[in-house]
Amino acid sequence: MKVIVNGEPREVPEGTSVAQAVATVSAAGSGVAAALNDEVVRRSAWDDTPLREADRLEVLTAVQGG
Amino acid sequence: MTVQNETDPLEIAGERLDSRLIMGTGGAPSMAVLREALVASGTELTTVAMRRVDPSARGSVLDVLRECGVRVLPNTAGCFTAGEAVLTAKLAREALGTDWVKLEVIADERTLLPDPIELVEAAEQLVDDGFTVLPYTSDDPVLARRLERIGCAAVMPLGSPIGSGLGIRNPHNIALIVEQAGVPVILDAGIGTASDAALAMELGCDAVLLATAVTRAQSPARMAAAMRHAVEAGRLARQAGRIPRRHHAQASSPFEGLAT
């Protein structure tokens, strides 16, 4: 199925979890947050939250700014 | 009176900060330069932005803050709507484990001025959601009052546009904001050099937030030290009570007893 991770279209297997998708862009154990279709998914729920066709996943971290 | 040993902490939302200089991390040419500047500034609270992870990025600003023992203050820089700012704040809370947020909702990229309508909307939502909201606002005393009434933990009026280094363009408005505020007033944006930071404190601001003036200075660590001293000097001067301005001179030496 097709999903969008940080603005990039991707082909991932059915049943791919938020945790698995996040792992493709970040190996950080902390300091990272994810939003699925503009809703924050708590880290504790990443494993049990599956992606669906056309989902938009945003994975953010802190950078220099302000 | 032992002025040197007096403690004069800043309190925001019940939390104590011994430094009244809040730093930003944007614009530093390297993490090493940033680290030096943060140490020289003596800051205890420092902003970061939230962005999509870059798998090729080396070194994290979070590591630098941790090493310096500085508390992190995520911002919502780059957000144009209340919705974007609220989502960014929630992501920051999840990523960084803090419910403090520097709320920034800008109107356009050319001026980076705050959009007051979106700002108030976002502040209301975030306060309701339990955030400690520190809003970057224009120097409008009425808007500052509205933000305080909503429940913001501080108000952060600009001195002049972000990164402009134009200093405090409307000192009178900053003084009006200070006069009415029941929460800390933090001069945010526009500081160009140390005298601007000192002026902010002399006007009665509780703290100064700056980034560019330090990170893009020729010697960031030196400028950071200058800002630290300027904030302390301005604070002391405010507390000391300046003399009134006079139109004519007033001799400080006596006229009596002159040799004639």
- pLDDT band (50, 70, 90) for residue B55: confident
pLDDT tens profile B13-47: 999 999 999 999 999 999 999 999 999 999 999 99
What value does the mean pLDDT take over residues B184-213?
A: 97
- pLDDT band (50, 70, 90) for residue A27: confident
The answer on pLDDT for B1 being more than 70 is: no
Tell me the chain A residues in contact with residue B94 when contact means C-beta distances shorter than 8 Å.
33-34, 40, 42-43
Q: Does A65 touch chain B (CB under 8 A)?
A: yes
Note whether A62 contacts B49, CB cutoff 8 Å.
Answer: yes
Q: What percent of chain B stands above pLDDT 90?
A: 90
Instruction: Give the pLDDT confidence score for residue B56 in this predicted structure.
Output: 81
B102 is catalytic: yes
What value does the mean pLDDT take over residues A32-50?
A: 95
Tell me the chain A residues in contact with residue B57 when contact means C-beta distances shorter than 8 Å.
63
pLDDT tens profile B94-138: 999 999 999 999 999 999 999 999 999 999 999 999 999 999 999
Domain borders along chain A are 2-61
Dist. CA B178–CA B155, nearest whole Å: 10
Look-up of token digits 């040419």:
B29
Hey, what domains does chain B have and what are their CATH numbers? 15-51+62-238 (3.20.20.70)
The answer on pLDDT for B2 being more than 80 is: no
What value does the mean pLDDT take over residues B51-73?
A: 90
Instruction: Choose, out of B31, B50, B52, the residue to mutate when testing the contact with A (most A CBs < 10 Å).
Output: B52
* Amino acid letter, residue B89: A
Dist. CA B99–CA B93, nearest whole Å: 5
Instruction: Give the pLDDT confidence score for residue B153 in this predicted structure.
Output: 98
Angle at CA of residue A8, ends B99 and B27, nearest 5°: 50
Q: Considering chain B, what is the average pLDDT of its residues?
A: 95
Rounded to the nearest 10°, the torsion over CA B150, B14, A43, B51 is 70
Residue B102 structure tokens: 């520097």
B127 phi and psi, to 5 degrees? -60, -45
Give which of B29, B32, B41 is closest to B209, Cα–Cα.
B41
Burial classification of residue B131, based on how many CB atoms lie within 10 Å of its CB (0-12 exposed, 13-18 middle, 19 or more buried)? buried
Of B35, B93, B102, B146, catalytic = B102
What value does the mean pLDDT take over residues B228-256?
A: 94
Angle at CA of residue B206, ends B200 and B211, nearest 5°: 60
Give which of B68, B39, B22 is closest to B222, Cα–Cα.
B39
Could you give the C-alpha distances from B184 to A39, B24, B241, in angstroms and in order? Answer: 32, 18, 19
Note whether B53 contacts A25, CB cutoff 8 Å.
Answer: yes
Domain A2-61: CATH superfamily is Beta-grasp domain (3.10.20.30)
DSSP letter string, B173-211: HHHHHHHH-SS-BEEES---SHHHHHHHHHTT-SEEEES
The alpha carbon of residue A20 is apart from the nearest alpha carbon of chain B, in Å, by: 15
